[in-house]
Amino acid sequence: MQQPSPIRILVCPLDWGLGHATRCIPLIRELISAGVEVVIASDGLQLKLLSSEFPEMEWVVLPGYKIKYGRKTGVGLKVFINSPGILFSIYKEHSELKSLIKNYRIDGVISDNRYGLWNKKVRTVLMTHQLNIIAPETLKFTEPLLRSFVRYFAGKFDECWVPDTEGKDNLSGKLSHGFIHPANTSYIGILSRFEHKETPINGRQYDLVALVSGPEPQRTMFEDKLLSQLPVEGKKCLIIRGIPGDTQITNLRSNLDSANHLSANPMHDILSKKPIVVCRSGYSTLMDIAFTGNKAILIPTPGQTEQEYLARFLEEKGFYLACNQKDMTLEKALNELEKRKLRPTIRAVSQYAGFIRNFIRKINESDSVKVQMPKSI
């Protein structure tokens, strides 16, 4: 008797920063453990990062939305200006998905913030923490339209997953709470690329770890600002530049080490020793440091309304210290951090494994895929 073909899932992160790729890592691990074949569809640094984490995995180039941050123009205004191009990209990826499904024998799709990757012939999921997109002050009048936009496209998918906890103790605030959601929405818990370990942590010991991330040119501007102030006197420091590829830690100067990129395990080992973290307030980074329980100084990307909101929101909740990039002085920020009595961050408990298994089960039960689920599922 011929063995049934394994289910094949296409995983597709957005190309705005590495966070969309890193938070797909635990989903991919869970898919693999369930006996599923995963195909990664992405572009640029996101594809480079995921192919380095999963070197044996099949992948395909799927161009993203190609929005770039200006040095002075906020991303919200940039998105507004480029909205016709974004809509065209959504239409184009929706069309390209048809060929990918056929050529790669795809049975299901998990899309991280890519609105065009739905198809009636296979089961699809949209993962997003931005059901409510926050517009810059000059464009506040567009927010109802933006919510309608997200609800429309989220409704095209079979499921909409929010990587956050339900209720008042949450990480995303009004980005995904406090208003009417699409009917297919579920909260799958905090989603970190890190895994709980029972064995001793072997990572290097640092007092401060600076995580550089985000699209250019703001990534380089943030890195330059940090390098001009590191190391802080009396502290052993590490700067991780957010450039996938080389993972070697090297010494830059006394008390300052540097790495272009660290994969999930060595990064987890370092952060688990509880250094203070200086980082962007990107959502995937926030989920990672919630997992490891670090104190943190949040520096939102200038003009990125989502990060500016999250930094304020989490500081007001007493979880972290926030300051802007222009006025950032690490020594003063560290002194302020020591004075504050911060609350422990929300407990990073995820339910995503159950959602993955249920997603696979529904694919298997559909008429279009006649295969048997592994007995462990």
Tens digit of each residue's pLDDT (9 = 90 or more) over 329-350: 999 999 999 999 888 877 766 7
Give me the sheet containing 256-259, strands edge to edge: 250-253, 256-259, 237-240, 208-211, 276-279, 296-298, 321-322
- Residue count of the chain, please give it: 377
Architecture category of domain 8-191+350-365 in CATH: 3-Layer(aba) Sandwich (3.40)
8-191+350-365 and 208-339: identical CATH topology = yes
For tokens 């450039």, name the residue. Answer: 243
For the segment(s) 208-339, the CATH number from 3.10.20.30, 3.40.710.10, 3.40.50.2000, 3.40.50.1860 is 3.40.50.2000
> What pLDDT, on the 0 to 100 scale, is given for residue 45?
87
Tens digit of each residue's pLDDT (9 = 90 or more) over 128-145: 999 998 988 888 888 888
Q: Is 70 exceeded by the pLDDT of residue 327?
A: yes
> What pLDDT, on the 0 to 100 scale, is given for residue 376?
43
pTM as predicted: 0.90
CA-to-CA distance for 333 and 222, rounded, in angstroms? 16
Tens digit of each residue's pLDDT (9 = 90 or more) over 204-247: 899 999 999 888 889 999 999 999 999 999 999 999 999 988 89
Q: What's the Rg (C-alpha) of the chain?
A: 21
Tens digit of each residue's pLDDT (9 = 90 or more) over 151-209: 999 999 999 999 999 888 899 999 999 888 889 999 999 999 998 776 767 778 999 99
The DSSP symbol for 140 reads G
Tens digit of each residue's pLDDT (9 = 90 or more) over 83-131: 677 888 899 999 999 999 999 999 999 999 999 999 999 999 999 999 9
> What pLDDT, on the 0 to 100 scale, is given for residue 167?
82
If we measure between CA atoms, which residue out of 219, 296, 284, 257 comes closest to residue 26? 284
CA-to-CA distance for 351 and 49, rounded, in angstroms? 24
Q: Is 90 exceeded by the pLDDT of residue 354?
A: yes
If we measure between CA atoms, which residue out of 377, 357, 193 comes closest to residue 267? 193
The DSSP symbol for 296 reads E
What's the whole-number mean pLDDT along residues 13-28?
90
The DSSP symbol for 111 reads E
Domain coordinates in residue numbering, the chain: 8-191+350-365, 208-339
> What pLDDT, on the 0 to 100 scale, is given for residue 3?
56
